[in-house]
Structure 1
Amino acid sequence: MDLRKLKKLIDLVEESGITELELTEGEEKVRISRATQATPQAIQQVAAAPAPLATPAAEAAPEPMQGHMVESPMVGTFYRSSSPEASAFVQVGDTVEVGETLCIIEAMKLLNEIES
């Protein structure tokens, strides 16, 4: 492809406003692309959300929990039983004795029994 033809193609791209032109003639292939100028986008102001309405002060208080809460000494995956086929160590509402296994916590590939 000669230089005059390339110049005409460049002028065509500039005049027409297109951003890219690709032309193939036989084994010759030419791609002309021009950088586009980013158009500044208008800044939109978002109105602040209205303040939430006051909630009634007389909401029902949660019932106090009966019994004793046992917290795990570590973070990990909680298992109710020793295997998927086995029954749970304890059920909700069960009375448990001191030292009874409540669950298993898996932390760092170690299985840790949590006792009451």
Structure 2
Amino acid sequence: MELSNIIELIHAVSDSNLTQFNLQDGNLNISMSAEKTIVQQAAANTDAALSVQYQPVMQPAAQSAVQNQITGQATGTETFTGNVVKSPLVGTYYAASSPDSAPFVKVGDKVNKGQVLGIVEAMKLMNEIESEFDGTVKEILVENEQMVEFGQPMFVIE
């Protein structure tokens, strides 16, 4: 197989939806694999901006391992009594403005709507997480410097 044909084959596979491609022709063995990102946009409601979620396409073995993790988490899902404040983005949660500072809130603290509960760092930007409710902090569901996902419950306010 000529080099120009190989290059053309690479471009054809790259432009397609294939994540893995193998070709054997005599002594020639070509194997290509790609991790692609699927972008999904959710419909925006009047209160929230568009939400974009990224999901990498995985090989079957990796996909089944992730599915097992998800299934394991789903069976251990808690239901919370009270109002739940969820992470609006993916990032690293910080309980205080600096390592030497006291945490923004502790369990048992009274909070008002708009009060800062913590910070989520995403792409070197510090995003304040504000309470959406008036009440008392019943539970803090995340640890300082823990990675949080979009929509992950972080606080329970009663």
| Same structural fold, with TM-score higher than 0.5 when normalized by the shorter chain | no
**Which structure has greater helix proportion?**
2
- Tell me the TM-score normalized by structure 1: 0.43
The structure with the largest alpha-carbon Rg is 1
**Which structure has greater strand proportion?**
2
Higher RCO by CA contacts (8 Å cutoff, separation 6 or greater): 2
- Tell me the TM-score normalized by structure 2: 0.32
